[in-house]
Structure 1
């Protein structure tokens, strides 16, 4: 039997991935997102596959995004800390933890591909987000194609055009190359005039063009949502160009380079990217350390307590 998980208007089917949009889904009561399932998922997610973050509720500088730890706590303790505090729990690649999430992810993308003409995706991934009332998620830009699916609670999402000044070309190049974090972006309150904004309720999901910067603010309620990431040939080609341009920029005086994904220049950049990635693989993966400066604590007023900073590899 064909599973219908998402709802579409005809104009959304043709604009998917081309512009920010708000759509509907039928997953708000799915058992994979019950409290019991989330508690089990928290406990099953290894240290290298989760982030715990906080930022002041009125802070707009993404560089103030802080990294914490929740190792050794039960899922119930973490959920209690989220409910009373100001933390954001990001469980990455949950489809690799349990087969049920992997099956769910396959069904979800099969449903999208049935609706969007010509859309074929691969290297799909899924992460679960559990976040506190009024939590402020820093401005950031993702590299793959991405969608945000609201399961519980209410939040507002601001999506900015993937171009300067919101996304300077050198910034996305550094993010693609791994020289910078996805939050290493400029922010100016004047940017709000160029943003598209959506309020997400249970049963809503939103998606946006490749690399579009975005930020999120929860309403006064616990939020449960999940993100999906995917690649297509078109997304891959854009990634190749940004990767190669990042390598070429220092050699060409720091100027912006063409981002075309066709023609001889593109094939040259494809060769350069492949060669550099091959060299990186032979040289061994370079992992940037994370600086941890707080620990989740369900007894603390904000759901966490500060600790002396230390670093972990992720």
Structure 2
């Protein structure tokens, strides 16, 4: 089955890559994206590639008060109509048939952009994230550090998008990213007057640019969605820089916004690259990723394992 994305020529010419715009796709009926296959996918993925919790959240949800769900991941997906949950299956490109589907979809829109390959379109570090959500679930206000074609596959979803240059909504410091920082951002109801809300149905989607603040809610039926993400060279460099800014700020050193001190920015990027090169071989193993998370987060290193512990304790009680 084909996997194609489509956007209007006007949006491609005037809005890409800095502004969001609607897209269409033919992925809703794809066999890899149906509920029975997704149940099997939860068993294929390494367990630290699965995150889930209750869907009964608010846009301004505090991470430490997020309610959990006492089910293994395959049951969350199987019972999504009644589970009151939200689950994301991360890095699905690690499964070859999903990787092929993602690359085919991105290749289709790369050609609309006028490119003959994913690399020439600057579609690199391609990753896939599949979201399965119960009715009336909320994903809190946050930003993502990659570009994203978000496609709606089943059920309704409302995508609230904001201006990624409006620092009255999200400050430079809040945009900085580090493992010790949760993705949820402070949100106030007054922000909504500046939101663009996409009412997505199966076959529809939206281009979500790098670090655009947003929050998402489902409608009165369960939802399946997918984020097809990538990082250009410029985004990879920016991510290195904001990581270093966050790390140095945590150490007590105030940091200038990216671009204010170009020479210093270059040194930070070089330092990050050197450190990451030493760690990258370790991150290929789930066991080592878990260990590295425990060093940073302590007991809150990974939700799946914490939920697993809670379920085991409940059975033992």
Q: Same fold (TM over 0.5)?
A: yes
Tell me what 2:272 maps to.
273
Work out which of the residue numbers 134, 137, 141 in structure 2 matches 1:135: 137
After superposition, residues 291-306 of structure 1 pair within 5 angstroms as none
TM (norm. structure 2) is 0.80
Deviations 1:110-169 (A, max 9, x none): 112112256321111112111101111111221222232100001101112234232222
1:59/1:198 CA distance change after superposition, 3 Å: closer
Distance change in 2, residues 1:205/1:62 (3 Å) = farther
Q: Deviations over 1:72-105 (max 9, x none)?
A: x7x4x434421013101111122213x2211101
Q: Going by fraction, where is strand more abundant, 1 or 2? A: 1
Query: Which residue of structure 2 aligns with residue 150 of structure 1?
Result: 152
1:27-84 C-alpha deviation (Å, 9 max, x unpaired): 111111223222222232332111111143556324343444643x7x4x43442101
1:3-152 equivalence runs, <5 A = 5-14=4-13, 15-57=15-57, 60-63=60-63, 64-68=65-69, 70-71=71-72, 75=74, 77-97=75-95, 99-117=96-114, 119-152=121-154
Rate the CA distance shift 1:95–1:18 in 2: closer, same or farther, 3 A.
Answer: same
List structure 1 runs of 4+ shifted beyond 6 angstroms: 282-285, 305-309
* Structure with a larger share of its residues in helix: 2
Number of residue pairs the alignment of both structures matches: 290
Mean Cα deviation higher: 233-242 or 55-64: 55-64
Cα pair 1:62 1:140 within 8 Å, conserved: no
Structure 1 residue 253, shift from structure 2 partner: 4.8
**RMSD (Å) for aligned C-alpha atoms:** 3.0
| TM-score of the pair, normalised by structure 1 | 0.81
Aligned twin of 2:285: none
Residue aligned with 2:79, SS: helix
Is the 2:35–2:78 contact (alpha carbons within 8 Å) kept by the matching residues of 1? no
Distance 1:222 1:278, change over 3 A: same
Give me the whole-angstrom Cα distance separating, in 2, the residues matched to 1:215 and 1:272.
33
**Structure 2 gap ranges (5+):** 115-119, 283-287
The change in CA–CA distance for 1:114 and 1:158 in structure 2 (over 3 A counts) is same
Separation in structure 2 between the aligned mates of residue 261 and residue 198 of structure 1, nearest angstrom: 34
Residue 181 of structure 1 corresponds to 182
Counterparts in 2 of 1:279 and 1:129: CA distance versus 1, 3 Å: same
Can you list the C-alpha shifts for 1:11-40, whole angstroms capped at 9, x where unaligned? 221322311211111111111122322222
